[in-house]
Amino acid sequence: MQKGIIELEEMEFYAYHGCFKEEQVVGNRFIVNIAISVDVTKAMKSDSIYDALNYVEVYEITKEQIKQNSHLLEHLTDRIVTAIKAKFDYIDWLRVKVSKMNPPMGGQMKAVSVTLER
C-alpha cells in the first residue's frame, strides 16, 4: 500500500462570510488549502481517474460550501471537512485551511485563517 498526499493549493473564492453586516454585504476574498491522505497504489499502477481521488469533485464540494454563508471561519471550515469526508469515506486524513484575506481588524493584516484536521 502506498499512501500519498493530494493537495489543492490556494483555491480562491469571493464570498460573504463574517460576523459584521458589512462583510455579509460587501464580501471578501477567501483562500482555501486542502491536503488529503489516501492510498494511491491502484491509481499509480492503472493511470486511471477511476482509481484516483477525483480532486475536481473536491474542488466542487469546496465551492458549494463556500457559497453558503457563515458567520465564523470555524463553521465554514468544518462544513468543508464534513462534506469532503462524507463523499470520500476512504480518506485516511484530511486538513482544510480557510483564510479570509484582508479581514476588517482595524489595521493592516494579510489574512486570518482556521485549519481543521480530521
pLDDT at 105 over 80: no
Identified catalytic residue from 63, 85, 87, 100: 100
Structural domains of the chain ordered from first start:
3-117 (3.30.1130.10)
- Is residue 100 among the annotated active site residues? yes
pLDDT band for 107, please (50, 70, 90 cuts). Answer: confident
pLDDT at 106 over 90: no
pLDDT digits (tens, 9 = 90+) for 19-29: 878 878 888 99
Contacts 24+ apart (CB under 8 A), 19-27: 19/71, 19/72, 20/104, 22/104, 23/104, 24/69
pLDDT digits (tens, 9 = 90+) for 27-61: 899 999 999 999 999 999 999 999 999 999 999 99
In total, the chain counts a number of residues equal to: 118
